[in-house]
Amino acid sequence: KAGVTQTPRYLIKTRGQQVTLSCSPISGHRSVSWYQQTPGQGLQFLFEYFSETQRNKGNFPGRFSGRQFSNSRSEMNVSTLELGDSALYLCASSLEGITTDTQYFGPGTRLTVL
Amino acid sequence: LAKTTQPISMDSYEGQEVNITCSHNNIATNDYITWYQQFPSQGPRFIIQGYKTKVTNEVASLFIPADRKSSTLSLPRVSLSDTAVYYCLVVLNQAGTALIFGKGTTLSVSS
């Protein structure tokens, strides 16, 4: 069974731009969650989507948003990029969600904001 | 607000048992603890998960004392390939769901 895939793997943007990252979950998984990883803050939870609805949300500003499609694929959008948004963005999938299930992570998208 | 604390780094030799402890306050009985392993340029990989007492699988054991203020990941007989960063995660199921990650423990295994 194929694992979680994320595209693109690397991205360079400038301040003020917006970016969209994509995540394809493991087949059959309905939950997709997103995380930001930085050297200073470590791993932080952004949000979770299940059946095309945002179910849980972390403490990030509204510039960070996401959506999920009927095939469970998910996208994350960051608008008005700031230098501090440079990070590794990880997505994870699971059968039923973050509250009880094991999360399977993708390799991440490395975003650099100049 | 819950917070998790784990050692920044640990060193070990091949064949030894390694125990990494994560301290977590203010967790309830339905909040569970998960440990992940991460190699450079890869996403975290699930190791083990539990609510209380002891859980064991083919790669690790997880010990959670009765007060649930800490948890210990035990890796038996580590090898060079266990060199990685290990994260504890507390999933809070209190008035909504929140995920609290530790900062990670860098384990270095030498021969």
Whether A60 and chain B come into contact, CB under 8 Å, resolves to no
pLDDT over threshold 90, residue B52: no
Instruction: Print burial letters for A53-90: b (CB count within 10 Å at least 16), e (below 16).
Output: eebbebeeeeebbbebeeebbbbbebeebeeebbbbbb
Q: Give dist(CA A76, CA A66) in Å, integer.
A: 4
pLDDT over threshold 80, residue B102: yes
User: In this predicted model, which residue has the larger pLDDT, B11 or A99?
Assistant: B11
CB contact under 8 A, A45 and B93: no
CB contact under 8 A, A98 and B99: yes
Which token pair is A59?
């403490």
Q: Give dist(CA A66, CA A74) in Å, integer.
A: 7
CA dihedral (A71, A5, B83, B104) positive or negative: negative
CB contact under 8 A, B101 and A42: yes
Please calculate the CA angle A100-A106-A112 and round it to the nearest 5 degrees.
Answer: 125
Option in B44, B93, B103 nearest A99 (CB): B93
Q: Looking at residue A78, what is its pLDDT?
A: 97
CA distance A57 to chain B (A): 8
Q: What is the mean pLDDT of chain B?
A: 91
CB A10 within 8 A of CB A113: no
Whether A106 and chain B come into contact, CB under 8 Å, resolves to yes
Q: Looking at residue B109, what is its pLDDT?
A: 97
Closest residue, chain A, to B95 (C-alpha): A56
Which token pair is B68?
């649930």
CB contact under 8 A, B43 and A107: yes
Q: Looking at residue B30, what is its pLDDT?
A: 76
In tens, the pLDDT along A57-112 reads 999 999 999 999 999 999 999 999 999 999 999 999 999 888 878 899 999 999 99
In tens, the pLDDT along A23-40 reads 999 999 999 999 999 998
> How many C-alpha atoms does A93 have within 13 Å on its Cβ side?
24
CB contact under 8 A, A58 and B98: yes
Whether A87 and chain B come into contact, CB under 8 Å, resolves to no
Confidence of residue B17 (pLDDT cuts 50, 70, 90): very high
pLDDT, average across residues B40-59: 92
In tens, the pLDDT along A4-15 reads 999 999 999 999
Q: Looking at residue B71, what is its pLDDT?
A: 93
Q: Looking at residue B94, what is its pLDDT?
A: 67
